[in-house]
Amino acid sequence: MRLRVLLLVIACVAAAGIGFGVSRWQSDGPPANDARAERTSERVSYTLTELTPPEGVGGIIAALDEEHVLTSSGGAVYSIDISEGSTATPELLTTFPGRMVRNIEVSANGETIAILGIGNDGGSRLRVVSLSGGDTSDFALDGPPGGVPDTPQGAISPDGDFFVSGSFDITMLDLKTGDTEVLRRPPPTKEQSLTGYEDWAVTEDGLVRAASEQGVDTWNAKDGKRIGGTIRCGCDIYRVSLNEPGNLASIATAGGHAVVLDLTAGRAVAEKTITGGGVIDSSAVLGDGQRAVAAAVGVVVWDVKSRRILWNHTFPDDLAQVHAIPNSESFLIDTMEDPKKAPADQTAFDVKWWLAKPAS
């Protein structure tokens, strides 16, 4: 699961003790797109909370849960309590040994974080931190011999024992011994070239999954053997993400559709038209898989079984991306000023982060 940006505020109140701006908005129907005519089968209210890290701390990179986010500044990685009543004081977890932090992954058991970034030598680096004891381990992500060097992205296993990464072939790194094993990607077909993997997951039962524009590939972590063929959706994939358990994939298409793949069954189980022709920038499966979220002109939460829109919000002048929070119906949104609507001489664009949480 990868993290990637309301100037318009419907109602704004101060979150007690935190200072975060809070916008509460309740949906009456779909956003300004082709789904507008659809009426919701149930009325769902979400609270939007703007997450503004304390001064001197960088933007949100990941969420440990609904009440704790991870940020980075100058290589220092912080955990911030964003629960109501918190003082939002950054707690230093570790300092990354390199130039910059690019991504943070959290193990499913919540005990280990994997921090990925660029080392001082320009190579991809990984620091693994135990949240219980504070122990750290550092690794270089060099990629398979003779292959393409790994980018600073990947996934940590649910128990925190190994890490998988790789844009083309997959490198499985044992975080206890430092040993590696290469999982080979199937060769391209005559009709289709390969693009790099953009999301990774490790399941509780030891399956390694990697997703690209071609679909989702699966290997057995125990013997390194590939399982089955590439699981495809038969659609024009623009973005793809895997949920934390690794059993579902959320696909955003260039044609305005959101698709959910059941990776156990090996087929698409739901499809929803979000924009009716426009690009969906990002999508994700939430919680136990009964709901999904997609971002285009606005952010839409929809029911996977009924295909009904449950909640939506529009960011009129901003581009939005959505990111799932582990084991939660809540999710993160990052919004960025749309460069197409900004003055021609504007070169810097504001990025804001929001927590979207079902109202109790």
Residue whose C-alpha is closest to residue 77's, from 120, 20, 124, 129 = 129
Torsions phi, psi of 335, nearest 5? Answer: -120, 145
Residue whose C-alpha is closest to residue 176's, from 94, 112, 106, 109 = 112
**53 vs 307, higher pLDDT:** 307
Query: 46-60, 113-127, 215-229: which has the minimum mean pLDDT?
Result: 46-60
Rounded Cα–Cα distance for residues 179 and 74 (Å): 30
Q: Which domains does the chain have, with CATH numbers?
A: 94-230 (2.130.10.10)
Residue 347 has pLDDT above 70, yes or no: no
> Nearest 5°: CA angle at 344, between 343 and 350?
55
**pTM for the structure as a whole:** 0.82
Confidence of residue 20 (pLDDT cuts 50, 70, 90): very low
The pLDDT mean for the chain works out to 80
Rounded Cα–Cα distance for residues 147 and 171 (Å): 11
pLDDT at 15: 32
Rounded Cα–Cα distance for residues 183 and 268 (Å): 25
Residue whose C-alpha is closest to residue 318's, from 279, 345, 351 = 351
Handedness of CA 152, 153, 154, 155 (dihedral sign): positive
- Taking only the tens place, the pLDDT of each residue in 60-98 is 788 888 888 898 887 899 998 888 777 778 889 999 998
The two three-digit tokens of residue 335, written as one number: 């919004």
Rg (CA), the chain: 20
Q: Which residues contact 315 (CB under 8 A, 6 or more apart)?
A: 6, 7, 8, 297, 298, 299, 335
- Taking only the tens place, the pLDDT of each residue in 123-155 is 889 999 998 888 999 998 875 554 445 567 899
**154 vs 31, higher pLDDT:** 154
How long a stretch of residues is the chain? 360
Q: Which residues contact 271 (CB under 8 A, 6 or more apart)?
A: 235, 257, 258, 259, 260, 307
Confidence of residue 42 (pLDDT cuts 50, 70, 90): low
Instruction: Give the CA dihedral 28, 31, 34, 39, nearest 10 degrees.
Output: -10
